[in-house]
Amino acid sequence: MTTAVADPLAGLEEVPWADLTHAYGSASDVPDLLRTLVSGPEEAAERAIHDLFGNVWHQGTVYPATPHAVPFLLRLLEQGRPWAEQIAVLLGEIADGHGYMLVHAAALPSLRPTYEKIAADRGTTLAAEMAAERTVIAACRSAVAAGAEALAPFLRHVEGSVGDEYVVRETVCRGLARCVEDRPELKAWVLEALADETDPRMPAELDGRVDDLPWLAAAVTSKRARLGPAEWETTDD
């Protein structure tokens, strides 16, 4: 049973969205996207969630506006709207998000001078930008952790779900695992949900994505051994 939130967007106008940034610059468009999720027609709401997947989270990266959007997304999730699964996935990805400079400068050392120049042109340094990104990542995880109860149901099968629901469970599991530092009890939530998992695709999807979390990586390996391979791992080319 979901809990109705009287005003899920309370405080929206208090956030200085125009002064914050997301993947495409100013986050001044975020309030209207959130309002559309509350009161817009279904087609417009679907476009809004699609846009949020591209700006406050973008291909694995998060931005200064992102943690400010999280509390509103959590409240919307509590309303049990038709797109709740998409919101749950977005929140899971946000919690597992990284910084643009942290990802690209670290993954592509040969381009580090390029990123250092980009930072210098902005009047800062690459080290300072990376430090700022770490602060944003921590804020995202703290914000998700604060409302983890809204995500907890998506760790397990949700009645009425459509499509590849195991992807929802995997993403929420991965996201909440990143929040354990803020809320240690989430470790038990994640491990218990993984222990109850019956679809081999879920741990297969999770495998290799949490290697920096030994406690979860070990549980995934154990679960994979019990459930066997996912269907795509046994299909002949």
The string of pLDDT tens digits covering residues 66-114 is 999 999 999 999 887 678 999 999 999 999 999 999 998 888 889 999 9
Q: What is the mean pLDDT of residues 181-204?
A: 97
Tokens (6 digits) for 185:
């009890």
Q: pTM to 2 decimals? A: 0.93
First-last CA distance in the chain = 44
Q: Cα separation of 26 and 21, whole Å?
A: 5
* Domain spans, the chain: 147-237
Residue 237 pLDDT > 70, yes or no? no
Residue 96's contacts (CB-CB under 8 Å, 6 or more residues apart) are 60, 171, 174, 175, 178, 209
Q: How far is CA 87 from CA 6, 73, 84, 170, 177, in A?
A: 19, 7, 5, 14, 17
- Lowest model confidence (mean pLDDT) among 34-43, 84-93, 193-202: 34-43
